[in-house]
Amino acid sequence: MNLSKFTGALMAAGLLLAAGFGATTSYAQTPDDEVKPADRKAAAKAQAPSAMDVAPQIVASTKVNCEPVNARVVGPTETDKDGAKVKATIYELACKAGPGFVVTAITPTETKEAFSCNYLVKIKDIQPDSISCALPENLPVHKWISPIVKTFVPSCEVTMIRVIGSTKEPPLIDRYEFGCAAGAGGIIDYAQLGQTAGTEYKSCLLLDGTPSACTFTTKAQLIESMKPLAAKANPNCQVTDVRFVGVTKDNNGYYYEFGCATPPGFIALANLDTSYNRIVPCASAMSLGGCKFTDAGVAAADANAYMTGVLKAAGQACTVKDYNIIGTQESTKRDYVEFTCPEQPFGLIGFVPQPGSDSQTRVYDCFLDQAARKMCTIVTPDKLMKQLDKLIKVAKPDKACDVKEVRYIGESSSTEQAVLAELACVNKRGYIVVVAPDRQTLLEAIPCTVAKAQKLDSVCEIPGNGTYSSLGD
């Protein structure tokens, strides 16, 4: 959304409009003492309809979404039509909902661009003698936005409002900043007069450092407003700072970083309705640009200790020295994580629940990962193959099998955590093996020819495997 302040064209239009609305605007009046009684009677009979009488026609002409509740004639003016100056009337209208506005009407069914009362405030800052809205329903100028703000920030009593700017391309909105009597204010994007864009609320944090940055809300107020979210993520954090990090790839949530009095801090994901979703430890936040309020070393040490505890609770011995979050399973709120730890020479990888998730931890070594997702990067397939080469030489010492290729089939149906695999040897011997859960022995090593002859569920599939011709295999 390309928001800007008043463009030159809009400012020019605003100033021209303001000039037409200037306090010095005058029009001829006939003093009462010069009007004869008969003339007064005729004038009364021909009196023009009131502003409220023509308000529905004006609303229809401007296409403003407004149910008029009050209207007034501001005064006569002149405007351009077909290159010539024509007489017109300036009206102010108040609406049941939404901003009040002022518009120039040549006739009630032929109107010029409408300007909201809030825009008139901005124009008046530049041209002090320009008009302002005066209908009680339009005052104070923030009155109309108060019920809208309540739907997003129930505790806010709006005390001030300003127009930040407007979009020039769809969705056509005016951007307003509002301030509250107590606590943080925010931003409301509201459809321009005559447009139908949806209404959106944005925290001041989202626009910090941009041309739309808030001016009514202090950093201390922002921190205070974000403490409930921080408490959901980490109740022990005494928040010292907060910043907006970014939007989720699906545009359904916002990331915020929190600094804590006692490090480390963290990043919290909030849903669009500002409710808490999950925490992202700083050590796992590189894809989000990392943390700025927490030292990287402190963050890593804390995250490693946390992950060590999670794995221990799941019955896995792993003193985490490092880890990498590969991806996220949103449906279960679990991360797919690869770990480095001395107790697991063949790696450890799998699903770990995010803080606050009640899903189960499911991790396994890289042998089993090779039979499924093949996502291990710390422990390579070559290292695993070397271990299998060592084990087949122990299991079949007289077969001279130098393993050249491995096909991982899956987890053994008879022994939990045992791995079923096919080994291909350089000399064309081949085996279906079952690797023990401790990865130190082979529970079975069945030659390809035997597996085929016995029509086992798992047979050799590597091209040419098991074609060694000598008998006595």
DSSP string, 416-427: TT-EEEEEEETT
- pLDDT (average), residues 361-365: 96
Banded pLDDT at 37 (limits 50, 70, 90): low
- pLDDT (average), residues 198-222: 94
Confidence at residue 387, expressed as pLDDT on a 0 to 100 scale: 97
Confidence at residue 43, expressed as pLDDT on a 0 to 100 scale: 53
- Judged against a pLDDT cut of 80, whether residue 20 lies above it is answered with no
Confidence at residue 17, expressed as pLDDT on a 0 to 100 scale: 29
Q: Which residues contact 350 (CB under 8 A, 6 or more apart)?
A: 336, 337, 361, 362, 363, 364, 369
Whether a cis peptide bond, with omega within 30° of 0, leads into 171 is: yes
3-state secondary structure of 128: coil
Confidence at residue 203, expressed as pLDDT on a 0 to 100 scale: 93
The answer to whether the CB of 384 falls within 8 A of the CB of 392 is: no
**Could you report the per-residue pLDDT of 309-319, keeping only the tens digit for each?**
999 999 999 99
How far is Cα 28 from Cα 330, in angstroms, rounded to an integer?
72
Confidence at residue 179, expressed as pLDDT on a 0 to 100 scale: 97
Banded pLDDT at 273 (limits 50, 70, 90): confident
Q: What are phi and psi of 24, to 5 degrees?
A: -85, 0
Which of 189-198, 271-280, 421-430, 451-460 bottoms out in mean pLDDT, i.e. has the lowest? 271-280
Residue % of the chain over a pLDDT of 70: 89
How far is Cα 189 from Cα 206, in angstroms, rounded to an integer?
13
- pLDDT (average), residues 397-423: 95
How far is Cα 395 from Cα 273, in angstroms, rounded to an integer?
61
- Judged against a pLDDT cut of 50, whether residue 176 lies above it is answered with yes
How far is Cα 409 from Cα 391, in angstroms, rounded to an integer?
17
- pLDDT (average), residues 397-426: 95
How far is Cα 441 from Cα 429, in angstroms, rounded to an integer?
19
Banded pLDDT at 47 (limits 50, 70, 90): low
How far is Cα 150 from Cα 186, in angstroms, rounded to an integer?
12
Residue where the block lists tokens 């006569």: 76
What average pLDDT does the structure give for the chain? 88
Question: What residue type is 223 in one-letter code?
Answer: I
Nearest residue to 424 (alpha-carbon basis) of 450, 449, 406: 406
How far is Cα 195 from Cα 71, in angstroms, rounded to an integer?
21
Confidence at residue 470, expressed as pLDDT on a 0 to 100 scale: 64
How far is Cα 310 from Cα 318, in angstroms, rounded to an integer?
10
Half-sphere exposure of 241 (CA within 13 A, CB side): 12
For the beta carbon of residue 63, count every other beta carbon within 10 angstroms: 13
Contacts 24+ apart (CB under 8 A), 202-210: 203/244, 203/254, 203/274, 204/177, 205/242, 205/243, 205/244, 205/256, 206/244, 206/254, 208/243, 208/244
Plot region of 180 (φ>0 → left; ψ -120 to 50 → alpha; else → beta) = beta
pTM for this predicted structure: 0.64
DSSP string, 350-377: EEEEPTT--PPPEEE-HHHHHTTT----
- Judged against a pLDDT cut of 50, whether residue 25 lies above it is answered with no
- Judged against a pLDDT cut of 50, whether residue 448 lies above it is answered with yes
Which of 191-195, 330-334, 418-422 bottoms out in mean pLDDT, i.e. has the lowest? 330-334
- Judged against a pLDDT cut of 60, whether residue 453 lies above it is answered with yes
- Judged against a pLDDT cut of 60, whether residue 142 lies above it is answered with yes
Task: Between 289 and 351, name the one with better pLDDT.
Answer: 351
3-state secondary structure of 80: strand
Beta bridge partner(s), residue 73: 91
Confidence at residue 385, expressed as pLDDT on a 0 to 100 scale: 98
- pLDDT (average), residues 432-441: 97
- Judged against a pLDDT cut of 70, whether residue 194 lies above it is answered with yes
Report the alpha-carbon angle 340-344-350, nearest 5.
65
Confidence at residue 468, expressed as pLDDT on a 0 to 100 scale: 84
Nearest residue to 406 (alpha-carbon basis) of 391, 421, 419: 421
Residue where the block lists tokens 């001395």: 342
Banded pLDDT at 138 (limits 50, 70, 90): very high
Query: Angle, to 10 degrees, between the axis of helix 117-126 and the axis of helix 8-20?
Result: 90
Task: Between 29 and 437, name the one with better pLDDT.
Answer: 437
Nearest residue to 130 (alpha-carbon basis) of 221, 24, 272, 57: 24
Domain ranges of the chain: 3-22+51-138, 295-378, 381-453
- Judged against a pLDDT cut of 50, whether residue 287 lies above it is answered with yes
- pLDDT (average), residues 337-347: 96
Confidence at residue 24, expressed as pLDDT on a 0 to 100 scale: 31
DSSP string, 218-267: -HHHHHHHHHHHHHHH-TT--EEEEEEEEE-TTSSEEEEEEEESSS--EE
